[in-house]
Structure 1
């Protein structure tokens, strides 16, 4: 066979034109290669790559499908079939048809588990889920769900209230009030740990929302965690020193906290959270600074995360704070 009419030679010429972005010539060479060897699926995937670069995405997918069909017929290397499928996925991703793109990537991975495509598929799946979540957000619907939840909460039908609060959170996941409401419902259902998680989310979203602290304290009180509940009420009173609910809650904690101070300190010292704080190099530097300059604590208390850690150490009796 004359070298000039050799399919692989035509493919090489096509590749050279492709790299030079001379897509017209690339098509001509790949078409000639296909004419000379119509069962070689690489020529079709190469043409698909040219169409992709030209933005002709439907034509790209069409060439990929041809490559796959011929590959199945000729029992081509599964890696070549996987490549054609991945290329079709890339075309759909460029078209913003993300679900189709993911479907093609998954088909490709079923043929050959290319590590890079695994990462790409996982990232795409994550993007799809996030897009679906954001598309689901609707503050107006969240408000109606919250109101329905409140009605069932007042009636004492806490399971039904929970269903509405769950939906409200999905519809408006950055609304601190919704987590506070759901925490109150979870406390009634005696799911205290989940209630505390919602309270922490509420506080993180809106550190000045006093009900987040009060409901956290209520859950801790129900668990008879008096020292932690006391701290939560103190946090609430730092926001509003006149809040009657927080004042009464604090008094209740002080009345009921009859745990032996030494036993309480021992329990807190064995707390993994306390141990983690003490292992933190940054906190050790901060504690050293406070020992040399007690007034420095005021500045550090402005940082909510550091404040939380310092109060934990105070409760353990490791530091004193006035």
Structure 2
């Protein structure tokens, strides 16, 4: 009882004096307060339309009579000074406080407020401030929380979430941020969530999460929803809101599992059904999407059904194109499928990359997979199953190998073999990678030792297993160039450029060979392309100038 009275008194101005922070004024929220007020939305990641407002507390006005009511604890709180917001304070004049009087500001800093007088909101602010300091974050609002999986460039930090929920936060300190995995992020936020959950009301946490979600602070919103779930794990609305925050952060598979849990708790939860339907559509699971659209009640409309059927139509065309081995049509239909709404469908991106590989367009295959959302191994295996995820890894391994990333290829195919040992395609690609990798390393060693004939033979052995590998072709061209076999070197360089037009090293090799043979027009053409791509490359500039001079001289002699 005494604790409740202290909490009530804390809302009368002391919170503003100690923290100078915002106070919480509860109003009815339209953002997922159960089933009574469902939010109409056609997108799972649409911002919450919460009416909750955070207003600034009365400020630094302190009622001295009310302050006397609080008894000062005999033991000072250890982290009390850490919870205060640091504000810039002008230096006092030398004669302002004579006799070394510390002045009112320093006197206030030595005042100690008992823990029970801080109140729930004050304790939450204190915990968040301590957590920010422990992780090297800035003082200030929750909007300055560093998000998992970020990299700092200058004064900006951009979320790396594979294209979803991307946002930029300015004003952070210029400190390097190490990428953090999803599991590590959950472990680090767990202590904060548990600390908050010991005192806060879950509905209050949800309301605060809704406000952060509405303002685009998705990491902070996620932490608050997690705290609410820790207190009341059986509330479906908390799971559904957490799913929305995860979706905004690009963690689509985790969002699916949270929506499933919300529906398990509350089978007729329309908004959760609608969110899950949108997630399934993005993942290319059209049948599951339609199933949940039909159970979304007033949340869904006919447009949702039409969108799902459009994606299904393009998926059917993809299946037919692959059956006919019509790779150009498969590329077209996978693009249409992604554009229609299946923008997180891993299997569609894998199909597109496979079609590019079959068409010997290796660079475009890599570009296709680079647009695919990236989820960790555990989450992929949990959602797609070991066999399904192994099929995706097979394509990744082939793309890596086609571009000379042999280490990544070995890692991907070995993981696929662990997940699906009985897959013939996995075994075939694994054998090829195991044959290519050591032979390629042997060729590199020979080249470094100046044994170009043996290096060329080693690369040729590898090319028997992978005849259109651009890196191996370019390496052999380098050996042939060193041996003066310029025509053969041009042939290998041209073959490498056929599958990888943007391969600058192969183009430079061909330009140098043409220059050696006196094919100045061809050399100038390649050098000019390289100059546009790398305008500051000295080797390219020198080669271009030399080729142009020789070309001018030859044309001058022809005109005589």
- The answer to whether TM tops 0.5 is no
Task: Name the TM-score class by shorter chain.
Answer: 0.3 to 0.5
Whose helix fraction is larger, Structure 1's or Structure 2's?
1
